[in-house]
């Protein structure tokens, strides 16, 4: 039996301001930092010993991961950062206020943009891409102009298959510190949730989700701590 723990970062400035975030690299708020410490203390009480930590290349997840690692007194763990665990890219919605878009486009459209598996948000223009050097090293085409949850799922899964699943199969517990929709994609995969069923799944900031997995990585137990 191996343990897999998923944690969404603490509250970010964009969460506080109710704006679409995606790949925008926004910091944690003071509340978010406190949530990360509290989550780490609860995780420490479980006594889980991890083999490695995986996070995105966005600071709200990285800082949360570092706080968690310190709180569980496993700051020495290998920590792997990958763009594949970045939040789903919100395209041209990034930076806009969610309530303002509800007023402009209607609640149903916003709910579809936020929670449907297949809906792609309005795309950024090619000229609006950031060409950030953290992505350029992978070559052209890594930075999306916007992603549906399905598109994010498809780029997350290879990292699961190549880097996380083999560690779990070898008996090493793994901690993933990522984002609301990255984690919804992983939860969909782990729990075999349908394309429609994933609409209703929400992941709270700073609440560790602990899975016990069997030797074929089937979920035996799920618990929030
Ligand atoms: O803005 C975002 O990138 C995400 C996560 O905060 O929000 P949503 O809940 O709309 O998926």
pLDDT of residue 140: 75
CA 38, 39, 43 angle in degrees (round to 5)?
120
Q: Any idea which of 91-105, 120-134, 146-160, 196-210 has the lowest mean pLDDT?
A: 120-134
Q: How confident is the model at residue 143 (pLDDT cuts 50, 70, 90)?
A: very high
Tens of pLDDT, residues 25-71: 999 999 999 999 999 999 999 999 999 999 999 999 999 999 999 99
**CA 174 to ligand 1 center in whole angstroms:** 24
What distance in Å separates the CA atoms of residue 209 and residue 189, rounded to the nearest whole number?
15
Residue 88 CA: nearest ligand 1 atom is 3
Catalytic residue among 3, 71, 87, 147: 87
Confidence check: pLDDT of 186 > 80: yes
What proportion of the chain, given as a percentage, has pLDDT over 70? 100
- For 116-142, b/e burial (b = at least 16 CB within 10 A) is bbeebbeebeeeeeeeeeebeeeeeee
Question: Which residues does ligand 1 sit against, CB inside 6 Å?
Answer: 15, 20-22, 87, 90, 114, 180-181
Q: Indicate the annotated binding residues for substrate.
A: 8-15, 21-22, 60, 87-90, 98, 114-115
Task: Report ipTM (2 d.p.).
Answer: 0.95
φ/ψ (deg, to 5) at 132: -70, 135
Q: Is 87 a catalytic residue?
A: yes
- Asked whether 206 and 38 are in contact (CB, 8 A), the reply is yes
Ligand 1 atom with the shortest distance to the CA of 202: 9
Mean pLDDT lowest for which of 100-109, 136-145, 167-176, 208-217?
A: 136-145
Nearest CA to ligand 1 atom 8: 114
Among protein residues, the one with the nearest Cα to ligand 1's atom 5 is: 180
* Selected catalytic residue, list 3, 9, 143, 179: 9
| Ligand 1 atom closest to residue 12's alpha carbon, by position in its atom list | 6
pLDDT over 90 (residue 137): no
Band (pLDDT 50/70/90 cuts) for residue 130 is confident
Q: Enumerate domains of the chain plus CATH numbers.
A: 2-89+148-224 (3.40.50.1240)
Q: How confident is the model at residue 18 (pLDDT cuts 50, 70, 90)?
A: very high
Contacts of 69 by beta carbon, 8 Å cutoff, 6+ apart: 40, 53, 75, 77, 79
Least confident of 56-65, 114-123, 125-134: 125-134
3-state secondary structure 76-128: CCCEEECHHHCCCCCHHHCCCEHHHHHHHHCHHHHHHHHHCCCCCCCCCCHHH
From 27, 90, 206, give the residue whose CB has the most ligand 1 atoms within 8 Å, as the site to mutate.
90
């Amino acid at each position: 039996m191996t343990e897999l723990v998923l944690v969404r970062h603490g509250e970010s400035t964009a969460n506080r301001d109710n704006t679409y975030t995606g790949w925008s690299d926004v910091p944690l708020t003071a509340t978010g930092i406190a949530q990360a410490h509290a989550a780490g203390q609860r995780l420490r009480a479980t006594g889980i010993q991890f083999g490695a930590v995986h996070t995105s290349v966005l600071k709200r997840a990285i800082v949360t991961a570092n706080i968690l690692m310190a709180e569980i007194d496993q700051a020495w763990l290998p920590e792997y950062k990958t763009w594949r665990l970045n939040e789903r890219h919100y395209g041209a919605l990034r930076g806009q206020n969610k309530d303002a878009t509800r007023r402009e486009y209607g609640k149903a459209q916003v709910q579809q943009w936020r929670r449907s598996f297949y809906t792609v948000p309005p795309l950024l223009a090619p000229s609006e891409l950031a060409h950030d050097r953290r992505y350029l090293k992978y070559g052209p085409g890594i930075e999306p102009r916007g992603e549906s949850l399905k598109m994010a799922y498809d780029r997350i899964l290879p990292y699961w298959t190549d880097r996380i699943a083999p560690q779990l199969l070898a008996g090493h517990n793994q901690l993933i510190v990522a984002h609301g929709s990255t984690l919804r994609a992983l939860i969909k995969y782990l729990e075999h949730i349908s394309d429609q069923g994933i609409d209703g799944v929400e992941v709270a900031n700073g609440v560790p989700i602990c899975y016990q997995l069997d030797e074929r990585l089937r979920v035996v137990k799920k618990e929030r701590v």
